[in-house]
Chains A and B, each alone.
Chain A
Amino acid sequence: MSGSRLTIGEGEPLAAKCQTEIEVKHGVGLHARPSVTFTRLAKSFPCSIEVAVNGSDIWLNGKSIIKIMGARIRKGSILRIRADGILAEEAIRALKELIERNFDEDKKHGRTA
């Protein structure tokens, strides 16, 4: 799990820009359920959250289920996640941990698609 965190501090402890990079290591990719888990968590933060896949310079809205599902995130994909605004650091930390926990898929039953 590779991760790098870059904080452009503004002196403001809450409002900030923050970015990380992480590899998706699990086969589930980001289909319906993991995508829902991801965007719901993203939406719980007031800052903007954007995602770029495999070095792409197209940043997608991380709170948008249709963007996240359309991003074709697969096992081995490298995700860059960036946040801007209030609670940006917390958002990045939480989303990174969610991916590291395999989107909490192991705790759930049923469909894995």
Chain B
Amino acid sequence: MKIRSMAEPLKLQATGASPGIASGQVYLAERSALVSMPVAPGASGPGTLADAVETAIAALQHLADRVDGESRDIIDFQIEVLRDPTIAEMTEKRVSAGEHTVFAWVAAIDAHIAELEDADEEEVRARAVDILDIKNRVLGNLSGTPVEDFPAGSIFVGKDIEPSRFLGHDWSRGGGIVLFGGSASGHVALLARAKFIPMVVGCGRFDVATDSQVRIDGDAGTVFLDTQAEGISSAPARGQSRTDAAAINHGKLQTSDGVPILLSINVNDPWEIASIDAATAAGIGLLRSEFAVRSLADTANEDKQFQIYRRALEWAGGKPVTIRMLDIGGDKPLAGLEDDSGAMGMRGIRLLLARPEIARVQVRALLRAAPFGNLRVLLPMVTFPSEIDDMRRIFAEETGLLLRRKIAHRLPQIGMMVEVPAAALMLDTFDNAEFFSFGTNDLAQYLAASARDGSDLSAYRDKAAPAVVRLITQAMTLAAGKPVSICGDMAGDPSALPALLAAGLRHFSVAPAQRPAIGSALVGLNADGTRAAGD
């Protein structure tokens, strides 16, 4: 479609993915999202790690020139470790065995840290910290190459937008997103709804100048081009205007007939919790760690992950924090990992077990964070009980290593996402899962055989809602009294609540933006899903 400056604004009808109205200058993204991921495929090959190491050496040398005595000795030692030929050889050996360069290097460094920690002499043991420091410095350099950000307040227009780009952008001055393709049930749409960022998807490709004005309506799914020519005044962005009708006491509600209900929040960006009052929620029902850990370098960075998890646990102050292990693959690819093969392929726990070097880093970070609160670890895309056994084995092995290194840790509860139909049907065979959480977006896409990243098929997934509810109802009877919650989009849809209550669900986890509305809706319903009398 070719658009020119016209007398009146041109209106495109598409699909609303996140409500609200926004207007601003167009930022036209040139390339497809996946091409401009922060760590491009292949960028984590030897060249880039070498660059990160060289950058670290240069920074350390700069520091060394300005200090003396003991500090200088430590820095000299750190530089020498970064240039150590043995570490380079160990890395190469692991890479030729199929490991990723970054993980291979981290493993080589970690092996040396463990060796030092085992030394008899205190002076030698103390050097382990110096090496940990350079490891974090190099990983920081690797993840410190963000994609080009777009101006704050502008409207992003492009084929697609990657989660890391969304999360890295400054949304404080408003703005919105228009995608030529995309889907309302994709992950960026989910992020946009959580952050009140208006978003319209599936408008097809159109031409627009980068500096022209555009207005989008995320409720109606419309895009108005050249609004400046017409002088259309932009409506104020929709804020949190809904009243918090439910008297919410740490997310503990009651249905109209007095049955207790828990309402937790889903967290994508761990920084966003800082602005949320912890007293409004029963805890974090789902922390999507793949949005906190945005690059391959971050997945190798145990310390960075530990800090993120610890912050979430401290925020919750003893209430449960459910952290889902990295659900990468499918429509959430992590650049540099080539074994991604779509929504039905190598993703979630399958990828974690196939790439144990990624899983082990996260497991250590989780084990170390656990003492700081009430941690529950959620495994994504589980199909068979054996997958949980395999992951539990990794937890046990890493526990043993932390024990030996005398590092504080605790084994958290381990549960599973119920999002693969085969698992939902066989829920009674998962003795090794301590809790369950329904992921309705994936259940719907697999039940209706319609991929969630294709906007054309959203109607199929919507129409499959009764099938999803029937499957959940059946699975509830197989849950053997273990804690069950629901964290998918269906939990945030007020019209779905009666059926979910009737199915027996008593714990809902929704985006912070949806929490007030869902809270209000729940207290107006009876536990069997019927509307309260007089309502």
- Chain A residues in contact with chain B, CB under 8 A? 31-33, 35-36, 39-40, 43, 61, 63-67, 69-70, 109-111, 113
The answer to whether B69 touches A39, judged by C-beta atoms less than 8 angstroms apart, is: no
B-side interface mostly: helix
* CB-contacts of B107-159 with A (<8 A): 112, 115-116, 123-124, 127
Count B-side interface residues using an 8 Å CB cutoff: 20
The answer to whether A65 touches B73, judged by C-beta atoms less than 8 angstroms apart, is: no
B11 within 8 A of A: no
Give the distance in Å from the alpha carbon of A111 to the alpha carbon of B115 in the complex. 22
The answer to whether A67 touches B77, judged by C-beta atoms less than 8 angstroms apart, is: no
> B131: nearest residue on chain A (CB-CB)?
A66
Give every chain A residue within 8 A of B81 (Cβ-Cβ): 65-66
The 10 sampled A-B contact pairs (Cβ below 8 Å) are A32-B74, A32-B123, A33-B76, A36-B80, A64-B85, A66-B112, A69-B124, A110-B69, A110-B70, A110-B73
The answer to whether A61 touches B70, judged by C-beta atoms less than 8 angstroms apart, is: no
Give every chain A residue within 8 A of B70 (Cβ-Cβ): 110-111
B86 within 8 A of A: yes
Chain B CB count within 10 A is highest, among A66, A70, A110, A111, for A66
Give every chain A residue within 8 A of B69 (Cβ-Cβ): 109-111
- What's the least CB distance linking B90 to chain A, in Å? 9
Give the distance in Å from the alpha carbon of A32 to the alpha carbon of B74 in the complex. 8
Give the distance in Å from the alpha carbon of A32 to the alpha carbon of B78 in the complex. 10
B83 within 8 A of A: yes
Give the distance in Å from the alpha carbon of A34 to the alpha carbon of B81 in the complex. 14
- What's the least CB distance linking A73 to chain B, in Å? 12
> B126: nearest residue on chain A (CB-CB)?
A113
- Chain B residues in contact with chain A, CB under 8 A? 68-70, 73-74, 76-77, 80-81, 83-87, 112, 115-116, 123-124, 127
Chain B CB count within 10 A is highest, among A43, A65, A110, for A65
Give the distance in Å from the alpha carbon of A40 to the alpha carbon of B74 in the complex. 14
- What's the least CB distance linking A45 to chain B, in Å? 13
Give every chain A residue within 8 A of B112 (Cβ-Cβ): 66
The answer to whether B86 touches A66, judged by C-beta atoms less than 8 angstroms apart, is: yes
A-side interface mostly: helix
Residue in contact with A66 in the complex, picked from B73, B74, B76, B84, CB distance below 8 Å:
B84
- What's the least CB distance linking B307 to chain A, in Å? 27
Give the distance in Å from the alpha carbon of A58 to the alpha carbon of B81 in the complex. 21
Chain A CB count within 10 A is highest, among B70, B81, B85, for B85
Residue in contact with A65 in the complex, picked from B68, B77, B124, CB distance below 8 Å:
B77
Residue in contact with B85 in the complex, picked from A31, A61, A113, CB distance below 8 Å:
A61
- What's the least CB distance linking A58 to chain B, in Å? 13
Give every chain B residue within 8 A of A63 (Cβ-Cβ): 85
- What's the least CB distance linking B153 to chain A, in Å? 50
The answer to whether B87 touches A66, judged by C-beta atoms less than 8 angstroms apart, is: yes
Residue in contact with A43 in the complex, picked from B68, B83, B115, CB distance below 8 Å:
B83
The answer to whether B115 touches A40, judged by C-beta atoms less than 8 angstroms apart, is: no
Give every chain A residue within 8 A of B123 (Cβ-Cβ): 31-32, 113
The answer to whether B84 touches A64, judged by C-beta atoms less than 8 angstroms apart, is: yes
- What's the least CB distance linking A24 to chain B, in Å? 16
Residue in contact with B127 in the complex, picked from A32, A40, A67, CB distance below 8 Å:
A32
Give every chain A residue within 8 A of B87 (Cβ-Cβ): 64, 66
Residue in contact with A36 in the complex, picked from B68, B76, B85, B115, CB distance below 8 Å:
B76
Give the distance in Å from the alpha carbon of A111 to the alpha carbon of B77 in the complex. 13
- What's the least CB distance linking B75 to chain A, in Å? 10
